[in-house]
Amino acid sequence: MELSEYNFSALVQISDGSPGYGLNLLNQGGIEFFQTVVELILSLPDLDWGGINKLVDRVGRKDGAEIFAAISDIILWTLSSAICRAVSGNKNNSSKYELLPNESPLIKSIHAYRHSLDQWAEVWEKVRIILTSSESLNMERKQTLFNAFTLLSRMARI
């Protein structure tokens, strides 16, 4: 499988440079998931239920646990990258924090909601807890994703 430079860059960033994890993400559809997650976050405060349902359908399959883990990592990575970029205060596209081309609109989106960054960090923590504790609490993966995106939508509406 041949990867474009963009997709390769995305995999390297999301996997924190781990080749094994990057390959696992690639095999699980990580590029598609990343693009979908960014689109969903950019649609906030509106929820794109069609896009969310595409993700939810994937986690309901036989290999859903691995896919859920990949989607969870991508959601958290996208949010943390956007928050870090917003903290830097550097909004131009040549910034060293510009990890992926799609991130620039995401940063503008975070700034547009006029919340302090500590509120966004708190939301990131709540989403992390929802996503990472679902297995230990025996929560359904589908409902967990719905809960995470609903929380993000509520934050964007405030």
Counted domains in the chain:
1
Measuring CA to CA, how many Å separate 136 from each of 71, 122, 131, 147, 150?
Answer: 17, 22, 10, 16, 21
Predicted pLDDT of residue 45: 80
Predicted pLDDT of residue 130: 94
Which of 30, 29, 6, 4 lies closest to 98 in space, CA to CA? 6
Query: What is the extent of the structural domain holding 138?
Result: 5-157
How many CB atoms are closer than 10 A to CB 118? Answer: 9
Which of 63, 78, 131, 73 lies closest to 109 in space, CA to CA? 78
Predicted pLDDT of residue 101: 44
What is the mean pLDDT for each group of 10 consecutive residues in the chain (158 residues)? 78 85 86 85 84 90 86 88 70 44 55 69 91 87 93 81
**In this structure, what is the dihedral angle of CA atoms 36, 106, 16, 141, given to the nearest 10 degrees?**
-40
